[in-house]
Amino acid sequence: MNNRLITYLVVGALLLFSINDTVFILDETQQAIVTQFGKPVGEQRTNPGMNFKVPFIQKVQFFDKRYLEWDGDKNQVPTKDKKFIFVDTYARWQITNPLQFFIRLRDERSAQSRLDDILDGETRNAIASHDLLDLVRSSNRDPEVTEDFMEDIEILEDIEVGRAAIEKIVLEKANQRCLDLGVRILDFRFKRMNYVDEVRDRVYDRMISERNRIADQFRSEGQGEARVIEGNKERDLAQIQSEAFQKAEEIRGRADAEASEIYAEVYNRNRQSIDLYRFLRSMEAFEKSLDENTSLIISSDSELFRYFKRLN
């Protein structure tokens, strides 16, 4: 009884394992093929849901159905006009035929290596066939002048192809080489471009020289404006001083004239008062000038002697 139970359990386990090994499920992100002894058999499975295979002797190879990333290595590449640049690229690709993909590439690691050869090679060919201007610009345009000092900027040279068109050329040629690989490159872009160190240093020197030229221009214009302002200040100051001096002299002249008129009027009105005033002023002068120890020598024709003579 126990042996029979054990037999039933073993058979049931084998049957369950066989059923489990017969059924496989694909989700929305997967596609697959079935292989038998390492060779693909049957149709490729691309629709999500339940699928079947022969247990034990057949195996399932799963592949991603989503967009996959390819990131290129930075390469030093010469352009058509003999300028060396570093180029960094990226792309998006997809497995479109899992059966063909398995036959030619087996897995994603081999596919990435194959795409390295294809995309890096086409990138080098495209860059070597075009000038640097075509690689960094996509269209012809006039430079936008936002500052007055940039009005004399050089006009941009026209391009013949352009960056976007070169990316499209690389994409088309790479896809032609991928027709029998079961993959399709969806998009290709130049992620970054830069000069090599030697060329970049020369470009930086040129940029510094241009900035210094603009700075010198600003400095020269500023000095010219400063001289104009200084000249206007000196002119205005001289004019103000001249007008002030003229007004002061006019006021002083009018005051002298009025004083003379007052003196004349007072003199004509009361001559004796004038004599008294002169006498008092003279006495004040004697009081401030003379003391007990002072000796005074006066000529006979002086005004002070005249008053002393009257006192005697």
The reported pLDDT for the residue numbered 19 is 60
The reported pLDDT for the residue numbered 151 is 52
The residues facing 31 across adjacent strands are: 63
The pTM (predicted TM-score) of the whole model is 0.61
Cβ contact 225:126 at 8 Å: no
CA 74 to chain CA centroid, Å, is 25
CA 148 to chain CA centroid, Å, is 18
Q: Structural domains in the chain? A: 2-64 (no CATH), 68-141+156-195 (3.30.479.30), 272-312 (no CATH)
From the list 77, 194, 199, 188, the residue with the least C-alpha distance to 127 is 77
Sign (positive/negative) of CA torsion 41, 43, 46, 52?
negative
Looking at residues 128-145, what average pLDDT do you find? 80
Looking at residues 227-235, what average pLDDT do you find? 89
Round to whole Å and give the CA distance between 81 and 131: 5
> What are 74-108's pLDDT values in tens digits?
888 889 988 888 899 999 999 999 999 999 998 99
The reported pLDDT for the residue numbered 188 is 96
% of residues, the chain, pLDDT over 90: 28
> What are 240-271's pLDDT values in tens digits?
988 898 898 888 888 888 877 777 776 666 65
Round to whole Å and give the CA distance between 72 and 49: 35
The reported pLDDT for the residue numbered 31 is 93
Round to whole Å and give the CA distance between 79 and 132: 6
> What are 23-33's pLDDT values in tens digits?
888 999 999 99
pLDDT at residue 231 tops 90: no
Looking at residues 119-128, what average pLDDT do you find? 93
The reported pLDDT for the residue numbered 126 is 94
Q: Strand 75-78 and strand 49-52: pairing?
A: unpaired
CA 186 to chain CA centroid, Å, is 32
Cβ contact 188:120 at 8 Å: no
For the purposes of burial, counting CB atoms within 10 Å of the CB of 127, is it exposed (0-12), middle (13-18) or buried (19 or more)?
buried
Question: Of residues 274 and 121, which shows the higher confidence score?
Answer: 121
Looking at residues 178-183, what average pLDDT do you find? 93
Q: In which band, very low, low, confident or very high, does the pLDDT at 200 lie, cut at 50, 70 and 90?
A: confident
Provide the residue type at 128 as one letter: A
The reported pLDDT for the residue numbered 308 is 61
pLDDT at residue 125 tops 90: yes
Cβ contact 282:307 at 8 Å: yes
The reported pLDDT for the residue numbered 284 is 73
The reported pLDDT for the residue numbered 134 is 87
Looking at residues 109-121, what average pLDDT do you find? 94
pLDDT at residue 5 tops 70: no
Tokens of residue 89, six digits: 């690229």
The reported pLDDT for the residue numbered 255 is 86
Q: What is the 3-state secondary structure (H, E, C) of the chain?
A: CHHHHHHHHHHHHHHHHHHHHHEEEECCCEEEEEEECCEEEEEEECCCEEEECCCCCEEEEEEECCCEEEECCCEEEECCCCCEEEEEEEEEEEECCHHHHHHHCCCHHHHHHHHHHHHHHHHHHHHHCCCHHHHHCCCCCCCCCCCHHHCCCCCCCCCCCCHHHHHHHHHHHHHHHCCCCCEEEEEEEEEEEEECHHHHHHHHHHHHHHHHHHHHHHHHHHHHHHHHHHHHHHHHHHHHHHHHHHHHHHHHHHHHHHHHHHHHHHHHHCHHHHHHHHHHHHHHHHHHHCCCCCCCCCCCCCHHHHHHHHHC
Question: Of residues 17 and 251, which shows the higher confidence score?
Answer: 251
The reported pLDDT for the residue numbered 181 is 94
Round to whole Å and give the CA distance between 239 and 229: 15
> What are 285-300's pLDDT values in tens digits?
767 776 777 776 766 6
The reported pLDDT for the residue numbered 100 is 93
pLDDT at residue 150 tops 70: no
The reported pLDDT for the residue numbered 64 is 93
Round to whole Å and give the CA distance between 171 and 40: 30
Round to whole Å and give the CA distance between 89 and 72: 5
The reported pLDDT for the residue numbered 129 is 92
The region of weakest confidence among 8-17, 64-73, 165-174, 278-287 is 8-17
Helix axes 197-269 and 271-289, enclosed angle (nearest 10):
120
The reported pLDDT for the residue numbered 10 is 56
pLDDT at residue 139 tops 60: yes
Provide the residue type at 298 as one letter: I
